[in-house]
Structure 1
Amino acid sequence: MKIIAHRGASGEFPENSILAFEQAILQEADGIELDVHFHSPSQQFIVLHDQYLDEITNAKGQINQYSLEQLTQLSLGQEQKLITLSQALTTIAGRTLVNIEIKSACSDISIVNLHLSALKSQINYAIKHLGFSSQQFVLSSFNHHIIKQSKLILPDIDTAALIAHNPIEYASFAQKLKCLAINPAIECLEQALVTNAQQLGLKVWVYTVDREEDINFCRQINVDAIFTNFPKKVRDYINNCNDS
């Protein structure tokens, strides 16, 4: 079972920060998950879970109300600043898998294509200059319009469909979208969903798994990966279970 650092090692360090990503690599996570929003004024991606700044910085309002220069001066704590996707990928530099979660509710194809084209440029640069391979990227989103369209614009990049429910037809929707995986919330996870997904050739990567009870459940029903805020703590716990 792979261990993916959720927003980096975010249980101990500022989420989606350079420090959290560096620590996730030091803690030997199998991958890093990060969130991106498209910043319209600069046409770049900002690494941030929410489009509003109130929760993790001392600024208020939405990211598009600020210039890129202003955004990248905002403090996340522990001497960390808000960063762009370019900065994140430069930091990670091909040392581990990266799951990029695209935060957007838009289904307008022209806008989706604009965002995906910008992302394609970032990923191509990372492959050419930063030591990544195409196999080290996974694109995920709750917006399945983006997942569908990404197969046209980024056909060599794997995708995962995020869900926070247990669909009537289980994982068949993700097979139709040609995904690598489904990424269900731990709160809606059950054996039938996992079994169906894996029978359809899909992986199951579960978020967000920090509690021992949830780790044990994920192991019991044989999920393929978990997203956790505490990669080292979870790795140590699993190793101790294996040794006992």
Structure 2
Amino acid sequence: MPNKKLNKKENFPIAIVAHRGFNKKYPENTLLSFRKAIEAKADYIELDVHFSADHEIVVIHNGTTGNVADKDLVVSETNLEVLKTLDIGQGEKIPTLQEVFDLCKGKIGINIEIKAENLAESVVKLVEKNEMVKDIMISSFIHSEVADAKKLNPEINCATLEPIGGNYVAYFMAYLNKMQFIKHALKANADSTNPISIMTTKKICSKAHELGILVNPWTPDKPKDWQKLIDMGVDSIITNDPEGLYNFLASKY
């Protein structure tokens, strides 16, 4: 059985994780999107973090702002004050991780995806400062960051994201060697493996659970895919449509 348990508001077989908030309907990684995920009864939001130039932890997916704003700035080379001038959809601004904690504490769990190196220590310190250790998952494709976070605070649920590698060859090799995902999680001392949904299998779920590891696939948005993953035995589903997933689960369980 898994060593950690995910927080769940309902007696559903899985936890609902809102990918970048309620990303299907609202601007991703915004306080609006996170508020709407809370209203949709998700168990967790998932978000992405980078450092700004002045070492603030900011919530944005890419290392540049061009995909969400009309100015293309390098996040790590731009101070928070300047980043805050950008409109990233419906009048929303790039939030800091602290602002997200202020909104979400006591209302919803948070899956924090680390998007760059040397962030783990600052993220863990902020989690501890806000006394939110039991409400947090720290995840990353950079497995050394996961290992660092786990060393800093073994009580935090940590997850290795899969597949690693940014090209088609690496992706294909990962597809052929999916059971390596569990080895990666064990090597990082992680509590969870978070694989892309199309590489998630019943065999992975069974073996992971034998070894005390949770399985949290990303990011299916269709009922047939949700049911397939539930039947495999996954522990949560990371989706862009938390409201749809909640309604689907409520109609069946």
Q: Same fold (TM over 0.5)?
A: yes
Q: 1:134-181: per-residue Cα shift (whole Å, max 9, x none)?
A: 111110000011111122222321201100245354513312322111
1:185 equivalent among 179, 196, 204: 196
Question: Where does residue 55 of structure 1 map in the other structure?
Answer: 67
Deviation at 1:93, TM superposition (A): 2.1
2:234 equivalent among 208, 214, 223: 223
Question: Where does residue 147 of structure 1 map in the other structure?
Answer: 146
Give me the whole-angstrom Cα distance separating, in 1, the residues matched to 2:151 and 2:218: 27
Question: Where does residue 118 of structure 1 map in the other structure?
Answer: 122
Which structure features the higher share of strand residues? 1
Give me the whole-angstrom Cα distance separating, in 2, the residues matched to 1:158 and 1:183: 12
1:32 aligns with 2:45: yes
Q: Is the 8 A contact 2:121 2:148 kept in 1?
A: no
Question: Where does residue 109 of structure 1 map in the other structure?
Answer: none
Q: Is the 8 A contact 1:172 1:200 kept in 2?
A: no
Q: 1:11-64: per-residue Cα shift (whole Å, max 9, x none)?
A: 11111100111111111101111110122x211111001111111111113113
TM-score after normalising by structure 2: 0.85
Report runs of 4+ in structure 1 exceeding 6 Å deviation. Answer: none
SS of the residue corresponding to residue 80 of structure 1 reads: coil
SS of the residue corresponding to residue 129 of structure 2 reads: helix
What is the RMSD of the two structures over their aligned residues, measured on CA atoms? 1.5
Alignment of 1:1-150 (within 5 A): 1-39=14-52, 41-104=53-116, 106=117, 112=118, 115-127=119-131, 132=132, 134-150=133-149
Deviation at 1:95, TM superposition (A): 1.4
Letter in 2 for 1:204: V
Alignment of 1:228-239 (within 5 A): 228-239=239-250
SS of the residue corresponding to residue 88 of structure 2 reads: strand
115-124 or 218-227, which moves further after superposition?
Answer: 115-124
Give me the whole-angstrom Cα distance separating, in 2, the residues matched to 1:74 and 1:160: 31
Q: Which runs of 5+ in 1 are unaligned?
A: 107-111
SS of the residue corresponding to residue 48 of structure 2 reads: strand
Give me the whole-angstrom Cα distance separating, in 2, the residues matched to 1:170 and 1:187: 13
SS of the residue corresponding to residue 130 of structure 2 reads: helix
Q: Is the 8 A contact 2:120 2:146 kept in 1?
A: no
> Share of identical aligned residues, percent?
29
Letter in 1 for 2:155: D
TM-score after normalising by structure 1: 0.88
Letter in 2 for 1:232: E
81-90 or 158-167, which moves further after superposition?
Answer: 158-167
Q: 1:174-231: per-residue Cα shift (whole Å, max 9, x none)?
A: 1232211100001211222111111111110010021122112111111110001111
Alignment of 1:178-217 (within 5 A): 178-217=189-228
Aligned residues: 228
SS of the residue corresponding to residue 113 of structure 2 reads: strand
Letter in 2 for 1:143: I
Q: Is the 8 A contact 2:179 2:204 kept in 1?
A: no
